[in-house]
A = this chain, B = another copy of it.
Amino acid sequence: MIENASKRERKKAENRQAILRTAEELFSGKGYRETTMQEIAERAGVAKGTLYLYFRSKEELYLTVCVRGVSGFGENLEKARAAAKGVEEKIRAVYLAYIRHSLKQPSVFRVLRDTFLEQVRKNLSPATMKEVSSIIGDWLKNESELVRDGIEQGLFDPGLEPYHFSVLAWRTATGLVELALLQDPIVIERASLENLFEASIDILLRGIKRLPEQPGNM
């Protein structure tokens, strides 16, 4: 009896996961409008109607996909920072973790990004907006702390506004990921782009380093 119940529960949970995975893949690959419930159902191996047993509407499914992915994101960045030694290394680690994670879970990246596109914001519930914002907000805040530390340690230009740098790094990373996610990358090949990920944070860090001999005029 319990066996039965749990078996059923398990099957249900599996179904839910299958739907979410499929939906994530499709939404992420083709966007909200382009993805049809029919296709999600087919690929998830269930009937169209079944989707509506688990999610009240296409929109609810989309939001669930979003929120689910977003949760893991923050922790990931946190881990990267904890693992790295030294201010500069931490900044670099978080920056690259943001890029790597985004490339691995494009749908999450897209939600994060969409939160900052007016066009799409209306699709997101306030709750989602808040959760997403808080992740970015945390990153920016933590990042600023690191920069401040760096300044205090004499590593970075004392005239630098720490928060500004965080925003700058975030926007740069986002812009690069966007390019990388295009299925046949344009303007630049994938391999070069990979190099650019590392090069970009190097340039950014170098751009804020303190120059002892010749006083920075920034």
**Residues of A that sit less than 8 Å from B by CB:** 29-34, 110, 116-123, 126, 129-130, 132-133, 136-137, 140, 161, 163-165, 167-168, 170-172, 174-176, 178-179, 181-184, 186-188, 192-193, 195-196, 199-200, 202-208, 213, 216, 218
Contact = CB atoms under 8 A, between A and B. Distances in A.
A165 B203 contact: yes
A27 B110 CA distance: 20
The 6 closest A-B pairs by CB, nearest first: A31-B119, A171-B175, A207-B207, A133-B186, A203-B207, A175-B175
A165 B199 CA distance: 9
Nearest to A106: B118
Contacts of A129: 184, 186
Nearest to A133: B186
A49 B9 CA distance: 18
Given A167-B196, A171-B179, A172-B168, A33 B119 contact: yes
5 contacts: A29-B119, A116-B179, A118-B181, A167-B179, A168-B203
Nearest to A183: B118
Contact of A174 (B163, B175, B182): B175
Contacts of A120: 31
A204 to B, nearest CB: 6
Given A119-B31, A178-B117, A168 B218 contact: no
Contacts of A117: 31, 178
Q: Residue among A123, A163, A188, A192 with the most chain B CB within 10 A?
A: A188
